[in-house]
Amino acid sequence: MSKFGVMVISHGSRSKEWVRLVDDAVAQVRLPAQVPVVSVFLELIEGRLIQDGIRMLEEMGVTDIVAVPLFISSGSTHIDEISYALGVIDHPTLPTDMVPFERKAVIHFTPPIDDDPEIAGILYEKVRELSADPSRELLLLVGHGSVEKGFHGRWRQVLEGLASRVQTLGGFDAADAAMLLPDQINFKLRLWQKRKPGHRVIVAPLFLSEGYFTREVIPSRLKDWAYSYNGRALLPHPLMSGWIEGRVLTVLRAKSELILR
Protein backbone atom coordinates (compact mmCIF):
# COMPACT_ATOMS: atom_id res chain seq x y z
CA MET A 1 0.00 0.00 0.00
CA SER A 2 1.27 3.48 -0.86
CA LYS A 3 2.27 5.92 1.84
CA PHE A 4 2.50 9.56 0.85
CA GLY A 5 4.86 12.20 2.23
CA VAL A 6 5.55 15.81 1.28
CA MET A 7 8.84 17.53 0.54
CA VAL A 8 8.69 21.32 0.19
CA ILE A 9 11.77 22.49 -1.73
CA SER A 10 13.13 26.03 -1.39
CA HIS A 11 16.34 27.58 -2.68
CA GLY A 12 18.10 28.17 0.64
CA SER A 13 19.90 31.17 2.06
CA ARG A 14 22.71 32.06 4.44
CA SER A 15 20.18 34.24 6.25
CA LYS A 16 18.72 32.44 9.26
CA GLU A 17 15.67 34.70 9.06
CA TRP A 18 15.04 33.67 5.43
CA VAL A 19 15.17 30.01 6.40
CA ARG A 20 12.97 30.59 9.45
CA LEU A 21 10.23 32.22 7.38
CA VAL A 22 10.17 29.28 4.99
CA ASP A 23 10.17 26.75 7.83
CA ASP A 24 7.35 28.61 9.59
CA ALA A 25 5.21 28.51 6.44
CA VAL A 26 5.84 24.79 6.01
CA ALA A 27 5.15 24.10 9.69
CA GLN A 28 1.70 25.68 9.35
CA VAL A 29 0.66 23.35 6.52
CA ARG A 30 -2.34 21.29 7.61
CA LEU A 31 -2.59 17.82 6.08
CA PRO A 32 -3.88 14.43 7.32
CA ALA A 33 -1.78 13.20 10.24
CA GLN A 34 -0.49 10.22 8.26
CA VAL A 35 1.20 12.47 5.70
CA PRO A 36 4.62 13.67 6.96
CA VAL A 37 5.98 16.99 5.67
CA VAL A 38 9.62 18.07 5.48
CA SER A 39 11.17 21.36 4.45
CA VAL A 40 14.36 21.03 2.38
CA PHE A 41 16.64 23.25 0.34
CA LEU A 42 18.44 23.22 -2.98
CA GLU A 43 21.68 24.47 -1.45
CA LEU A 44 23.46 26.12 1.50
CA ILE A 45 21.57 24.36 4.35
CA GLU A 46 23.71 21.33 5.17
CA GLY A 47 21.82 18.35 6.51
CA ARG A 48 18.57 19.63 5.03
CA LEU A 49 19.20 19.32 1.31
CA ILE A 50 16.90 17.50 -1.12
CA GLN A 51 18.71 14.18 -0.77
CA ASP A 52 18.37 14.47 3.02
CA GLY A 53 14.64 15.02 2.66
CA ILE A 54 14.22 11.97 0.44
CA ARG A 55 16.13 9.87 2.97
CA MET A 56 14.08 11.16 5.92
CA LEU A 57 10.76 10.43 4.23
CA GLU A 58 11.80 6.99 3.02
CA GLU A 59 12.94 6.09 6.53
CA MET A 60 9.36 6.90 7.64
CA GLY A 61 8.07 4.36 5.14
CA VAL A 62 7.03 6.85 2.49
CA THR A 63 6.63 5.30 -0.96
CA ASP A 64 5.32 8.38 -2.80
CA ILE A 65 6.76 11.87 -2.35
CA VAL A 66 4.81 14.97 -3.33
CA ALA A 67 7.59 17.44 -4.14
CA VAL A 68 6.40 21.06 -3.93
CA PRO A 69 8.90 23.58 -5.36
CA LEU A 70 8.57 26.81 -3.40
CA PHE A 71 9.99 28.80 -6.31
CA ILE A 72 8.42 31.82 -7.98
CA SER A 73 8.37 30.72 -11.61
CA SER A 74 8.53 27.66 -13.85
CA GLY A 75 10.94 29.87 -15.77
CA SER A 76 13.52 29.32 -13.05
CA THR A 77 16.45 27.24 -14.29
CA HIS A 78 16.44 25.63 -10.83
CA ILE A 79 13.07 24.05 -11.59
CA ASP A 80 14.62 22.48 -14.69
CA GLU A 81 17.59 20.98 -12.86
CA ILE A 82 15.57 19.83 -9.83
CA SER A 83 13.08 18.15 -12.15
CA TYR A 84 15.93 16.30 -13.82
CA ALA A 85 17.59 15.24 -10.55
CA LEU A 86 14.25 13.95 -9.23
CA GLY A 87 13.63 11.94 -12.40
CA VAL A 88 10.64 14.02 -13.47
CA ILE A 89 12.30 14.76 -16.84
CA ASP A 90 14.87 12.61 -18.62
CA HIS A 91 17.27 15.39 -19.58
CA PRO A 92 17.81 18.95 -18.32
CA THR A 93 17.27 21.77 -20.79
CA LEU A 94 20.48 23.45 -19.67
CA PRO A 95 23.74 21.92 -18.45
CA THR A 96 23.72 21.27 -14.69
CA ASP A 97 26.08 19.97 -12.03
CA MET A 98 23.19 18.19 -10.34
CA VAL A 99 23.04 14.41 -10.65
CA PRO A 100 20.01 12.14 -10.11
CA PHE A 101 19.13 11.68 -6.45
CA GLU A 102 19.18 8.26 -4.83
CA ARG A 103 15.59 7.27 -4.18
CA LYS A 104 13.11 4.44 -4.12
CA ALA A 105 9.99 6.56 -3.71
CA VAL A 106 7.85 7.69 -6.62
CA ILE A 107 8.03 11.47 -7.16
CA HIS A 108 4.94 13.58 -7.80
CA PHE A 109 6.26 17.02 -8.80
CA THR A 110 3.86 19.96 -8.51
CA PRO A 111 4.06 23.29 -10.37
CA PRO A 112 5.85 26.19 -8.67
CA ILE A 113 4.06 29.42 -7.70
CA ASP A 114 3.60 30.87 -11.20
CA ASP A 115 0.52 32.97 -12.07
CA ASP A 116 -1.70 31.95 -9.17
CA PRO A 117 -4.72 34.01 -8.03
CA GLU A 118 -3.89 33.34 -4.36
CA ILE A 119 -0.41 34.77 -4.89
CA ALA A 120 -1.88 37.84 -6.57
CA GLY A 121 -3.99 38.36 -3.48
CA ILE A 122 -0.93 38.22 -1.25
CA LEU A 123 0.92 40.67 -3.49
CA TYR A 124 -1.95 43.13 -3.32
CA GLU A 125 -2.12 42.90 0.47
CA LYS A 126 1.59 43.71 0.61
CA VAL A 127 1.34 46.88 -1.53
CA ARG A 128 -2.13 48.10 -0.56
CA GLU A 129 -0.72 50.34 2.18
CA LEU A 130 1.22 52.28 -0.48
CA SER A 131 -1.85 53.15 -2.53
CA ALA A 132 -3.77 56.42 -2.09
CA ASP A 133 -5.44 57.08 -5.47
CA PRO A 134 -5.30 53.94 -7.66
CA SER A 135 -6.73 55.76 -10.69
CA ARG A 136 -3.51 57.81 -10.79
CA GLU A 137 -1.12 54.98 -9.86
CA LEU A 138 0.95 52.51 -11.84
CA LEU A 139 2.01 49.13 -10.50
CA LEU A 140 5.40 47.69 -11.50
CA LEU A 141 5.93 44.06 -10.46
CA VAL A 142 9.63 43.16 -10.33
CA GLY A 143 10.95 39.60 -10.40
CA HIS A 144 14.31 37.91 -10.84
CA GLY A 145 13.82 36.76 -14.44
CA SER A 146 16.15 34.89 -16.80
CA VAL A 147 18.05 35.56 -20.00
CA GLU A 148 17.94 31.92 -21.07
CA LYS A 149 15.95 31.03 -24.17
CA GLY A 150 12.57 29.57 -23.23
CA PHE A 151 12.98 30.38 -19.56
CA HIS A 152 12.75 34.12 -20.27
CA GLY A 153 9.35 33.67 -21.90
CA ARG A 154 8.00 31.69 -18.97
CA TRP A 155 9.15 34.38 -16.54
CA ARG A 156 7.48 37.06 -18.63
CA GLN A 157 4.21 35.13 -18.71
CA VAL A 158 4.21 34.70 -14.93
CA LEU A 159 5.11 38.31 -14.16
CA GLU A 160 2.65 39.82 -16.61
CA GLY A 161 -0.14 37.53 -15.47
CA LEU A 162 0.33 38.38 -11.81
CA ALA A 163 0.71 42.10 -12.56
CA SER A 164 -2.62 42.05 -14.38
CA ARG A 165 -4.31 40.25 -11.49
CA VAL A 166 -2.98 42.74 -8.93
CA GLN A 167 -4.03 45.65 -11.15
CA THR A 168 -7.59 44.33 -11.12
CA LEU A 169 -7.57 43.81 -7.35
CA GLY A 170 -6.21 47.29 -6.64
CA GLY A 171 -7.91 49.25 -9.40
CA PHE A 172 -4.58 50.67 -10.60
CA ASP A 173 -4.62 52.69 -13.81
CA ALA A 174 -1.99 50.40 -15.35
CA ALA A 175 0.34 47.57 -14.41
CA ASP A 176 3.46 46.10 -15.94
CA ALA A 177 6.29 43.76 -15.04
CA ALA A 178 10.07 44.00 -15.16
CA MET A 179 12.87 41.51 -14.67
CA LEU A 180 16.18 42.10 -12.94
CA LEU A 181 17.77 39.65 -15.37
CA PRO A 182 17.85 41.16 -17.94
CA ASP A 183 17.57 44.63 -16.38
CA GLN A 184 14.24 46.01 -17.63
CA ILE A 185 13.28 48.50 -14.92
CA ASN A 186 14.58 51.69 -16.52
CA PHE A 187 13.11 50.80 -19.92
CA LYS A 188 9.66 50.19 -18.40
CA LEU A 189 9.71 53.37 -16.34
CA ARG A 190 10.81 55.51 -19.29
CA LEU A 191 7.82 54.25 -21.26
CA TRP A 192 5.48 55.19 -18.42
CA GLN A 193 7.14 58.58 -18.06
CA LYS A 194 6.12 59.32 -21.65
CA ARG A 195 2.71 57.70 -21.63
CA LYS A 196 1.51 58.39 -18.08
CA PRO A 197 3.14 61.62 -16.86
CA GLY A 198 2.09 62.67 -13.38
CA HIS A 199 1.19 59.17 -12.21
CA ARG A 200 2.69 57.63 -9.06
CA VAL A 201 4.66 54.42 -9.50
CA ILE A 202 4.24 51.64 -6.93
CA VAL A 203 6.90 48.94 -7.11
CA ALA A 204 6.12 45.43 -5.83
CA PRO A 205 8.86 42.77 -5.47
CA LEU A 206 7.96 39.22 -6.50
CA PHE A 207 10.29 37.29 -4.21
CA LEU A 208 9.62 34.55 -1.70
CA SER A 209 11.31 36.32 1.20
CA GLU A 210 13.03 39.62 1.85
CA GLY A 211 16.77 39.77 1.37
CA TYR A 212 19.52 40.99 -0.92
CA PHE A 213 17.33 41.43 -4.00
CA THR A 214 14.48 43.23 -2.23
CA ARG A 215 16.66 45.41 0.00
CA GLU A 216 19.59 46.23 -2.24
CA VAL A 217 19.24 45.27 -5.89
CA ILE A 218 15.77 46.64 -6.61
CA PRO A 219 16.35 49.99 -4.83
CA SER A 220 19.69 50.39 -6.64
CA ARG A 221 17.98 49.93 -10.02
CA LEU A 222 15.39 52.56 -9.06
CA LYS A 223 17.79 55.20 -7.74
CA ASP A 224 17.03 57.72 -10.52
CA TRP A 225 13.25 57.46 -10.22
CA ALA A 226 10.46 58.62 -7.92
CA TYR A 227 8.48 55.64 -6.63
CA SER A 228 6.75 54.07 -3.64
CA TYR A 229 8.19 50.82 -2.30
CA ASN A 230 8.11 48.87 0.95
CA GLY A 231 10.14 45.83 -0.12
CA ARG A 232 7.63 43.37 1.34
CA ALA A 233 8.02 39.85 -0.08
CA LEU A 234 5.48 36.99 -0.10
CA LEU A 235 6.60 35.64 3.27
CA PRO A 236 5.42 35.88 5.94
CA HIS A 237 1.77 35.31 5.02
CA PRO A 238 -0.66 32.58 6.15
CA LEU A 239 -1.95 32.05 2.62
CA MET A 240 1.45 30.68 1.58
CA SER A 241 0.83 27.67 3.82
CA GLY A 242 -2.59 27.31 2.23
CA TRP A 243 -1.01 27.45 -1.21
CA ILE A 244 1.30 24.54 -0.29
CA GLU A 245 -1.67 22.58 1.06
CA GLY A 246 -3.55 23.14 -2.17
CA ARG A 247 -0.70 21.81 -4.31
CA VAL A 248 -0.43 18.67 -2.15
CA LEU A 249 -4.15 17.96 -1.91
CA THR A 250 -4.51 18.22 -5.68
CA VAL A 251 -2.05 15.33 -6.03
CA LEU A 252 -3.56 13.25 -3.23
CA ARG A 253 -7.08 13.58 -4.56
CA ALA A 254 -5.96 12.72 -8.08
CA LYS A 255 -4.28 9.56 -6.81
CA SER A 256 -7.31 8.62 -4.70
CA GLU A 257 -4.99 7.32 -2.02
CA LEU A 258 -6.62 9.12 0.87
CA ILE A 259 -10.12 10.01 1.97
CA LEU A 260 -9.78 13.75 2.43
CA ARG A 261 -12.39 15.77 4.23
Q: Do residues 168 and 127 both lie within one domain?
A: yes
Residues forming a β-bridge with 138: 174, 201
Q: Do residues 174 and 90 both lie within one domain?
A: no
Within a domain: 232: no
**What is the distance between the alpha carbons of residues 229 and 227, in angstroms, rounded to a whole number?**
6
Say yes or no to pLDDT of 251 above 50. Answer: yes
Q: Do residues 217 and 123 both lie within one domain?
A: yes
pLDDT for 90 equals: 93
pLDDT, one tens digit per residue, over 20-41 is: 999 999 999 999 989 999 999 9
Domain housing 59: 4-113+237-255
Mean pLDDT of 158-165: 97
> What is the CATH classification number for the domain harbouring 43?
3.40.50.1400
Count Cβ atoms within 10 A of the Cβ of residue 105 and give its class: 0-12 exposed, 13-18 middle, 19 or more buried. Answer: buried
Write the CB contacts of 211 (distance below 8 Å, at least 6 apart in sequence). 13, 15, 18, 233
Write the single-letter amino acid at 102. Answer: E
Are 28 and 243 contacting, i.e. CB atoms less than 8 angstroms apart?
Answer: no
Say yes or no to pLDDT of 260 above 60. Answer: no
pTM of the model: 0.91
Closest CA to 235 of 28, 63, 47: 28
Within a domain: 226: no
The rounded percent of the chain whose pLDDT value lies above 70 is 98
